[in-house]
Amino acid sequence: MRYQDWWILAIWCILLLIAEISSSGPKELLLGDKFPNKSETEICGTIREVIQRNSGRFRRNLIRNTNDQVDYINEDARWMTSRTKGKLDVLASLVISKWKNGTVRVIQAWTDQVVASDPTSLHYEGRPLYIL
């Protein structure tokens, strides 16, 4: 094979790989659906410990999101890790650019109120978001 033929073959392989990867994701998410269909801890790992309000870890690890493009259900829904804040801000921008009157509503981000039915929730470290 000539050099140009190798490049064409390589490009076709990359395009096929991209098509395969993009087709394996969700086609459309409905209310209550999630992707990937796994628990938070299966994807992100377990928590170290609950971050208590105004503790050293609270001040070091959590930041208050003041993005006015996002609707927060309460003050605790504003507290999250910087990584989570960055992803939420990008999502809010995408929603507004796609739907003029669209908004992202954060139901829950960080909480220090431990629930007996969910003692290892990642919300105790401000890592996930429940959004509408």
User: Can you tell me which residue has the tokens 């299966």?
Assistant: 42
Q: Does domain 28-131 have CATH number 3.30.1380.10?
A: yes
Q: What is the pLDDT of residue 93?
A: 94
Q: What is the pLDDT of residue 2?
A: 59
The pLDDT tens digits of the residues spanning 4-62 come to 666 677 776 677 667 666 655 656 778 888 778 888 788 888 999 999 999 999 999 99
Q: What is the pLDDT of residue 5?
A: 64
Q: What is the pLDDT of residue 7?
A: 66
Q: What is the SS3 string spanning 14-47?
A: HHHHHHHHHHCCCCCCCCCCCCCCCCHHHHHCCC
The residues facing 118 across adjacent strands are 115
Domain boundaries, the chain: 28-131
Q: What is the pLDDT of residue 100?
A: 86
pLDDT above 60: residue 1? no
Q: What is the pLDDT of residue 4?
A: 60
Q: What is the pLDDT of residue 28?
A: 78
Separation between Cα atoms, residue 113 and residue 101, nearest integer Å: 33
pTM: 0.72
Q: What is the pLDDT of residue 3?
A: 54
The pLDDT tens digits of the residues spanning 99-125 come to 988 999 999 999 999 999 989 999 999
pLDDT above 70: residue 77? yes
